[in-house]
Amino acid sequence: MALQAIIGRPFTFEVLFVDDTNTPITVNNPVINIFTFTPLGGKQTLVSSPMVPVIPAEVGRYTYTYVIPATFKDGDSIYGEMGGVDPTTSLNLITEQQLVVISANRGTGGSIGGGSCCCGLVSRFIKGG
């Protein structure tokens, strides 16, 4: 399922790298490539940059904050491909996250006091046992 990001606002990509036992690991060269596709299907790179460790530090977790350009239209997609090198095996670890960009006024049906809603925050409740 794709996450949503608001046009003109920052979105933080986040990844947790783990080994084959699901133990978080510090990778070498954590990077992100943010891209989209042109109407003809060509890949268009928007950013290629190192990722930084989260603050406070957590083993294996990295972030990159990207401001969604105002040139995007509501419903467009952006992809973040995040990778790093496992220092033990020298294997490239790669994951991808898809974003659907939305306009800042989508879903602003109002709130108490006549203001607008806080787009970007979504709550889901799951009945548990």
Q: Residue 11: in which H helix or E strand, if any?
A: strand 10-16
pTM flag (> 0.95): no
- For 42-84, the pLDDT digits (tens) are 999 999 999 999 999 999 999 999 999 999 999 999 999 999 9
- Is residue 24 within 8 A of residue 120, CB to CB? The reply is no
- Which amino acid makes up residue 29? N
Domain residue spans in the chain? 3-114
Tokens encoding 88? 């033990």
Q: Which fold has domain 3-114?
A: Immunoglobulin-like (2.60.40)
DSSP H helices, the chain, are none
State how far the alpha carbon of 54 is from the alpha carbons of 28, 68, 95, 113, in Å: 15, 20, 17, 36
